[in-house]
Structures are given as C-alpha cells and as structure tokens.
C-alpha cells in the first residue's frame, strides 16, 4: 500500500502543556482516517503541524515520502476553520476566486459543485446558505485542484441531522473516488460510520491506532509477542480461536472469533513451546474505549 503520510514521534508543547505527545502513525492511500478524541485532545494541533501552520516541538512527518516541500502540500486540500467566503457573492463567483488563487481550471467549478450537491445553487449568494451548505461549499473549494488528500476538522460541527448525513455521504463519495481523507472528530458515531481507520487521542497521547473493524471486534483481541514472532504467528494461525492475526509493529494482534482468556492462551502457547514476553487482552469496543476517554476527562 502506498503511504501518503508518515508521522514519526510528533510532539507539541505549549509551555507546560503537552498538546500532542509522541504521535506516530501512517496514512495509506485511499483510506479514510479518523482522529478521534474529546475536545482538547490534540486533534487540531496535529492537523496544524502536518499542514505547516503549527511548528512541532519534536518529531517529523513526510507527505508522499518526501522531505518537507511546498509542492507536497499542493496535493493536500484542507478545511480547518469555519468556511469563509464573500457573503455578497454567489457560490460560483466565490469558487471562481478560489480557482484563480489555486490555479485550478474553471471547468472544475461545476464539477465540484455537483459533487457537493450545490450545482443548482451556483448563482445564489453565499449569505443565503445554511451552515450545511456553507460547509459543502468549503469542501467544493478544497477539491478544486483535485487534491490527493482531503483534511477536515470536525466537518459536521453545528449541523442539523440532515446536514450531517449529507456531509458524511459526500465524504464517502469523495473517498470512493480514491481521495485519501483525514478527519478530526470528537464523535464516535461519525468515525464508525465514515472511517476505515482510527487514531484515538487522549490528552495528546495515542490510545489506539488501527482499523475501525478490528477495534470493534466483539470478542476483543490479544496483543502479544515472543522472541520468535514468526513461530508465534504460525501457532496462532493453527488455532481455531482467531479471526485474523495481524502484524502490529513488533507485536502480533490476534482478533478473537470466540471467547478465550489470557490465562488459557498463555497455557496453550507454553504447551507448544512458546514463551511470551507480552500478552494483553483488550476487550473494549470502540464505544467503550471512547467512553472511558471522555469519562477520564471529566
């Protein structure tokens, strides 16, 4: 899989406060990544750093495998603030201005207005738009130069239920055409509905990073490692307990298809000559994990 973004040990401190603490993850092409965490967990600061608007304290990141270059950021479209357009100009005129700034072809305007369902409102003034329509226009503006990656910070904040559904459908449609998406959200529901991958942040630290479907595995999963992970992998695969075994850094992650205690697994593996140096069972669903995070905050 082609890596679009690689973040290594990214840290940002503001005085004594560590807003982002040793964050590492990579983003693969064509997936939808959610940065999930309560207010103040460091989502916006992370987006600010990878977009070159916030200076990191430590750590590094690479877009498209390249050292920092302004060319790379041209392939990234982002909406990190409330949509800001000229209120007295039409949607079409506003996009003409953005297209000129970005050097995008004027034919892109109708194409992108269609994607966000605003083509019929092209001639209407921005000031007459609902919040949801303003947000959709901002997405059209961000898409004008066909970015490879689209970054959205809390894309459905403040919208009514219908507006939320529209934005989520648009995100999925954009992703289905191969654009990689990174979105920050404090809504578990949003991440579960829209994202294939999630990075859960708690006060700047990563609590979980991986696929959403693996996180929500109903019987939980084991994180485990031994001095010979290849052999461990082989033995785990020969057991009927696991849905899937995946490599996760220098650990293996075994997703359970039926209930099994850590004690039983440890015994079974020991009987087959494997001594583990790491074994943790994680059972929580995404929802439970997320509730824990928010409860810890209060």
Ligand X SMILES: Nc1ncnc2c1ncn2[C@@H]1O[C@H](COP(=O)(O)OP(=O)(O)OP(=O)(O)O)[C@@H](O)[C@H]1O
User: Which one, 43 or 134, has the nearer CB to ligand X?
Assistant: 43
Min separation Cβ 133 and ligand X, Å:
23
User: Which one, 44 or 156, has the nearer CB to ligand X?
Assistant: 44
Per DSSP bridges, beta strands 221-226 and 205-211 are: unpaired
In 10 A of CB 53, how many CB atoms?
Answer: 10
Residue 185 CB partners (closer than 8 Å, separation 6+): 34, 35, 36, 43, 154, 155, 156, 191
The answer to whether the CB of 143 falls within 8 A of the CB of 115 is: yes
User: Which one, 12 or 197, has the nearer CB to ligand X?
Assistant: 12
Min separation Cβ 33 and ligand X, Å:
15
User: Which one, 38 or 220, has the nearer CB to ligand X?
Assistant: 38
Min separation Cβ 184 and ligand X, Å:
6
Min separation Cβ 160 and ligand X, Å:
20
Min separation Cβ 81 and ligand X, Å:
11
**Which own/partner contact pairs does 261-264 have at CB distance under 8 Å and 24+ positions apart?**
262/222
User: Which one, 17 or 280, has the nearer CB to ligand X?
Assistant: 17
User: Which one, 48 or 132, has the nearer CB to ligand X?
Assistant: 48
User: Which one, 157 or 218, has the nearer CB to ligand X?
Assistant: 157
**Residues of the shown chain interacting with ligand X in the complex, contacts defined by CB under 6 A:** 14, 17, 19, 37, 39-45, 186
Min separation Cβ 159 and ligand X, Å:
15
Min separation Cβ 54 and ligand X, Å:
8
Using CA atoms, how far apart are residues 28 and 194, in angstroms rounded to an integer? 16
User: Which one, 79 or 224, has the nearer CB to ligand X?
Assistant: 79
Min separation Cβ 174 and ligand X, Å:
22
């Amino acid at each position: 899989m082609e890596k679009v973004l690689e973040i290594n040990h990214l840290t940002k401190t503001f005085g004594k406060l560590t807003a982002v603490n040793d964050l590492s993850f990579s983003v693969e092409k064509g997936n939808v990544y959610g940065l999930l965490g309560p207010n103040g967990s460091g989502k916006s600061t992370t987006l600010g750093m990878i977009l070159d608007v916030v200076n990191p304290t430590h750590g590094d990141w690479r877009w498209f495998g390249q050292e920092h270059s302004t060319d790379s950021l041209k392939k990234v479209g982002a909406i990190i603030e409330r949509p800001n357009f000229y209120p007295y100009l039409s949607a079409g005129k506003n996009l003409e201005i953005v297209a000129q700034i970005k050097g995008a072809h004027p034919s892109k305007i109708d194409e992108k207005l269609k994607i966000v369902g605003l083509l019929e409102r092209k001639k209407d003034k921005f000031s007459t738009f609902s919040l949801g329509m303003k947000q959709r226009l901002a997405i059209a503006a961000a898409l004008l130069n066909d970015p490879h990656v689209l970054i959205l910070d809390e894309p459905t904040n403040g919208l009514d239920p219908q507006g939320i559904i529209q934005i989520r459908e648009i995100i999925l449609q954009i992703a289905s055409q191969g654009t990689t998406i990174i979105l920050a959200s404090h809504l578990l529901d949003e991440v579960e509905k829209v994202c294939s991958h999630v990075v859960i942040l708690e006060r700047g630290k990563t609590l979980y990073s991986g696929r959403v479907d693996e996180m929500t595995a109903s019987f939980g999963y084991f994180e485990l490692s031994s001095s010979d992970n290849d052999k461990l992998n082989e033995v785990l695969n020969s057991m009927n307990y696991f849905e899937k075994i995946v490599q996760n850094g220098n650990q293996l992650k075994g997703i359970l298809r039926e209930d099994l205690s850590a004690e039983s697994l440890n015994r079974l593996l020991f009987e087959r000559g494997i001594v583990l140096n790491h074994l943790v069972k994680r059972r929580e669903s995404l929802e439970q994990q997320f509730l824990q995070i928010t409860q810890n905050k209060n």
